[in-house]
């Protein structure tokens, strides 16, 4: 667990490096590929040209489940983290064949196993569409602004997505100051090639999470297929023969999830006082439920371990973010910077239209506080934690949305989003009844607690039933079967409206309530915040200029940094660990028990091989699986975590202590060769 107060001292220095709309400090920044500050790395000895940036873009890919990855061979081989492939590993495992416990290595192409629910995207083009969107939203506010913007975005994405192999997303940058269209090539046949045992992928477990030194082989190899054959991928990263050295300039290309560095003070206060505490309470309860569930049998441990991994990781990360926002000095300096922008707006008649933006955001967030319990209960958590109930909602809503004009549908059902929606709906990923029951009971119990037993919605959901009774009734659904879901989908609205499946019936009964609170929230909160954060962004541009990077949006970004240690509690931490350190740290008991594959091969392993390393690259959640590479575009590492000081990185960056944590490329080679005998893969990546 993270030590109390550890972030406080570090966050005092965040203030000087807070990424306000100004020139960013050294090593800071998650830069777009069409806005990379080449002049900054030139001072470090290398200035990327456009050809280099394009090659990086095409060799970097995204897992739509929330991670990053890279292409490392001309036959579609993809490198990512084990924890990014963990759901695939779990979905391919059975009670008799637990791949999480024993690992997996395909001896040939035929042995590579298709992931039931994985999609990989390759960014092929970026197009500025700001003028087109601003042209239809100019002068509009609130619901009218949102409606016009959403219709135009749907039209742009539809014009772009010419086939199911293409994904098109309009991405909001600088909080509405710019809109870019990202065009992706979609790969939906993704196969597992290699995954080590959990024991080495997560060596150290939760105690080591967000810490350094680390000793992990958090890697996995996947392969993208087309027409039943390995895809031809000429755009790839090569593999460094020598790895990295201390002080070397290195790059990370990946898809950082979300940052809030450009948020107003009111938005940060909402996160601190409302959103983060709420999420932490939920994660804490879920962690307890999953822990007890997993202890009841080895099979229950198998089916719950991936969920528990993500819950524990999320809890620790969000706790770090909350501690960051509780730091008074950080919030004071955020307020000072905001006051500077407001002063500029107040004194410049040309900026008069932006004057009320901050107050409008604050008022909308007061509404959000009033609506959040109802919104969470009916919409955000309206599938009650159940994968099958999620499919029920998708089917019920698709039945209502499909005959509407494209621009009037819910965004997740527009034409450009349909291929991804169908792929998820038809996924063969197993749905485990015992785990479904656990989640249903928890979510239904919390629904009754939060809204009260007399609430009309609670009565509509539960009736006279207890959460346990209703969960058992719902689990008689056939929606855990892909063939049944396909039959309903193919049957169209009539089949869905006539279905007596218990989950479909419940989804139909509560959909109007969920849509109503969603509409209120989007109209009274989201549309107001979106429009006015756009105004704030434009005011910042007028005050500080545009020579900075936008907040992260789970889209491709490039950061630069150096291999460099840091000081922790007054003691220097060197940038590398070695395999010998892992053996020295091993206790033989989880989570510090090395797998037998390592202990048996200890004599064959070069124990001096660098194992994990840290760099000053600016990363955040979503960068998991990102390649760490040098100026020659050679893989020198694989990002899998950040250190304890990085937990405040959602709101600021301090190059003196913020560190990205990576698996060293030399350790990956040593493990594949000396431990797993994966000569086929070594030959492929080192070609």
Helix (H) or strand (E) holding 239: strand 238-239
Beta-ladder partners of 561: 250
Neighbour count for residue 512 (Cβ, 10 Å): 10
545 — pLDDT class (breaks 50, 70, 90): confident
Asked if 470 and 443 count as a contact pair (C-beta separation under 8 A), the reply is no
**Residues sharing a CB contact under 8 Å with residue 347, sequence separation 6 or more, in sequence order:** none
Helix (H) or strand (E) holding 272: none
Preceding peptide of 213 cis, ω within 30°? yes
> By percentage, how much of the chain surpasses pLDDT 70?
96
Preceding peptide of 153 cis, ω within 30°? no
* Residue 546 confidence (pLDDT): 66
Rounded mean pLDDT, 540-558: 88
DSSP string covering 595-628: -HHHHHTGGGS-TTSEEEEEE-----TT-TT-EE
**In terms of DSSP bridges, do strands 178-187 and 189-195 run parallel, antiparallel, or are they unpaired?**
unpaired
* Residue 604 confidence (pLDDT): 98
Nearest to 177 by CA among 543, 438, 535, 516: 535
**Residues sharing a CB contact under 8 Å with residue 274, sequence separation 6 or more, in sequence order:** 368, 369, 372
Neighbour count for residue 599 (Cβ, 10 Å): 12
Hey, is 187 helix, strand or coil?
Answer: strand
Q: Is the pLDDT of residue 623 over 90?
A: yes
pLDDT in tens, 230-266: 999 999 999 999 999 999 999 999 999 999 999 999 9
* Residue 415 confidence (pLDDT): 95
Alpha-carbon distance 570 to 586, whole Å? Answer: 26
Nearest to 387 by CA among 432, 418, 354: 432
Alpha-carbon distance 11 to 588, whole Å? Answer: 36
**In terms of DSSP bridges, do strands 189-195 and 220-226 run parallel, antiparallel, or are they unpaired?**
antiparallel
Asked if 358 and 536 count as a contact pair (C-beta separation under 8 A), the reply is yes
* Tokens coding 304: 């719950």
Q: Residue 243 has what DSSP assignment?
A: -
> What distance, in Å, lies between the first and last C-alpha atoms of the chain?
42
Asked if 193 and 111 count as a contact pair (C-beta separation under 8 A), the reply is no
H helical segments located in 348-432: 357-375, 387-401, 418-425
Alpha-carbon distance 148 to 232, whole Å? Answer: 41
Residue 174 CA, distance from chain mean position? 19
* Residue 542 confidence (pLDDT): 85
Alpha-carbon distance 345 to 221, whole Å? Answer: 52
Asked if 391 and 297 count as a contact pair (C-beta separation under 8 A), the reply is no
Q: Is the pLDDT of residue 14 over 50?
A: no
> Which phi-psi region, left, alpha or beta, contains residue 139 (left: φ > 0; alpha: ψ -120 to 50)?
left
* Residue 22 confidence (pLDDT): 34
Asked if 473 and 501 count as a contact pair (C-beta separation under 8 A), the reply is no
Alpha-carbon distance 76 to 636, whole Å? Answer: 19
* Residue 13 confidence (pLDDT): 29
Alpha-carbon distance 606 to 200, whole Å? Answer: 17
Nearest to 251 by CA among 21, 82, 31: 31
pLDDT in tens, 304-319: 999 999 999 999 999 9
> Which phi-psi region, left, alpha or beta, contains residue 458 (left: φ > 0; alpha: ψ -120 to 50)?
alpha
Nearest to 549 by CA among 181, 18, 9, 2: 18
* Residue 11 confidence (pLDDT): 31
pLDDT in tens, 366-407: 999 999 999 999 999 999 999 999 999 999 999 999 999 999
Furthest-apart CA pair in the chain: how many Å?
75
541 — pLDDT class (breaks 50, 70, 90): confident
Q: Is the pLDDT of residue 18 over 60?
A: no
pLDDT in tens, 74-98: 999 999 999 999 999 999 999 999 9
**Residues sharing a CB contact under 8 Å with residue 184, sequence separation 6 or more, in sequence order:** 62, 121, 122, 123, 124, 166, 167, 168, 169
Q: In residues, how long is the chain?
A: 687
Asked if 218 and 203 count as a contact pair (C-beta separation under 8 A), the reply is no
Rounded mean pLDDT, 615-632: 97
> What domains are there in the chain, each with its CATH number?
17-119+188-261+553-685 (2.40.10.120)
Rounded mean pLDDT, 482-504: 98
Helix, strand, coil percentages in the chain from 3-state DSSP, rounded to 5: 50, 15, 30
pLDDT in tens, 29-84: 999 999 999 999 998 999 999 999 999 999 999 999 999 999 999 999 999 999 99
């Amino acid at each position: 667990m993270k030590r109390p107060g550890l972030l406080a001292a570090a966050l005092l220095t965040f203030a000087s490096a807070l990424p306000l709309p100004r020139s960013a400090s050294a090593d800071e920044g998650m830069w777009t590929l069409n806005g990379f500050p080449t002049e900054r790395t030139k001072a470090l000895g290398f200035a990327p040209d456009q050809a280099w940036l394009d090659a990086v873009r095409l060799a970097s890919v995204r897992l739509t489940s929330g991670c990053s990855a890279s292409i490392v061979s001309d036959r579609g081989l993809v490198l990512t983290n084990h924890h990014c492939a963990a759901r695939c590993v779990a979905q391919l495992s059975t009670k008799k064949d637990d791949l999480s416990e024993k690992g997996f290595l395909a001896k040939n192409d035929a042995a590579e196993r298709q992931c039931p629910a994985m999609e990989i995207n390759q960014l092929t083009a970026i197009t500025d569409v700001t003028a087109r969107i601003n042209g239809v939203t100019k002068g509009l506010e609130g619901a009218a602004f949102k409606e016009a913007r959403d219709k135009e975005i749907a039209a742009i994405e539809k014009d772009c997505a010419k086939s199911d192999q293409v994904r098109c997303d309009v991405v909001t940058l600088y909080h509405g100051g710019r809109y870019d269209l990202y065009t992706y090539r979609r790969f939906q046949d993704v196969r597992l090639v290699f995954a080590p045992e959990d024991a080495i992928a997560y060596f150290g477990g939760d105690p080591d999470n967000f810490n350094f030194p680390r000793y992990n082989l958090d890697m996995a190899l996947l392969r993208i297929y087309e027409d039943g054959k390995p895809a031809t991928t000429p755009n790839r990263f090569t593999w460094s023969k020598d790895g990295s050295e201390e002080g070397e300039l290195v790059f990370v290309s990946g898809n950082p999830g979300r940052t809030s560095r450009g948020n107003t003070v009111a938005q940060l206060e909402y996160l601190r006082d409302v959103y983060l505490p709420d999420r932490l309470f939920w994660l804490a309860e879920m962690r307890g439920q999953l822990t007890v569930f997993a202890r009841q049998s080895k099979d229950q441990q198998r089916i719950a371990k991936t969920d528990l991994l993500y819950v524990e990781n999320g809890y620790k990360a969000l706790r770090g973010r909350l501690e960051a926002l509780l730091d008074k000095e950080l919030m004071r300096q955020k307020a000072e910077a905001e006051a500077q922008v407001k002063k500029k707006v107040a004194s410049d008649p040309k900026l008069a239209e932006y004057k009320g933006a901050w107050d409008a955001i604050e008022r909308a967030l007061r509404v959000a506080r009033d609506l959040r319990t109802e919104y969470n209960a009916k919409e955000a958590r309206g599938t009650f934690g159940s994968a099958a109930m999620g499919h029920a909602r998708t089917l019920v809503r698709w039945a209502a949305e499909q005959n509407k004009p494209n621009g009037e549908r819910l965004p997740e059902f527009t034409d450009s989003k349909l291929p991804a929606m169908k792929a998820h709906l038809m996924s063969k990923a197993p749905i485990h009844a015992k785990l479904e029951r656990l989640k249903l009971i928890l979510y239904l119990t919390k629904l009754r607690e939060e809204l009260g037993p007399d609430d009309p919605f609670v009565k509509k959901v539960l009736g006279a039933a207890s959460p346990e009774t209703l969960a058992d009734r719902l689990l008689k659904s056939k929606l855990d079967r892909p063939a049944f879901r396909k039959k309903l989908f193919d049957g169209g609205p009539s089949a869905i409206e006539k279905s007596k499946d218990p989950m479909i019936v419940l989804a139909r009964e509560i959909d109007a309530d969920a849509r109503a609170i969603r509409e209120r929230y989007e109209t009274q909160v989201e549309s107001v915040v979106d429009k006015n954060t756009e105004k704030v962004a434009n005011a910042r541009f007028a005050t500080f200029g545009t020579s900075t990077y936008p907040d992260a949006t789970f889209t491709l970004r490039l950061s630069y940094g150096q291999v460099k240690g840091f000081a922790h509690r007054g003691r220097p931490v060197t940038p590398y660990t070695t395999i010998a350190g892992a053996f020295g740290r091993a206790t033989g008991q989880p989570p510090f028990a090395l797998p037998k594959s390592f202990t048996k091969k200890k004599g064959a392993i070069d124990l001096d091989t660098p194992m994990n390393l840290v760099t000053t690259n600016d990363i955040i959640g979503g960068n998991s699986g990102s390649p760490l590479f040098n100026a020659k575009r050679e893989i020198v590492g694989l990002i899998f975590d950040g250190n304890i000081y990085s937990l405040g990185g959602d709101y600021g960056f301090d190059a003196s202590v913020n560190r990205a944590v990576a698996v060293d490329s030399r350790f990956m080679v040593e493990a594949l060769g000396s431990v797993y005998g994966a000569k086929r893969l070594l030959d492929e990546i080192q070609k």
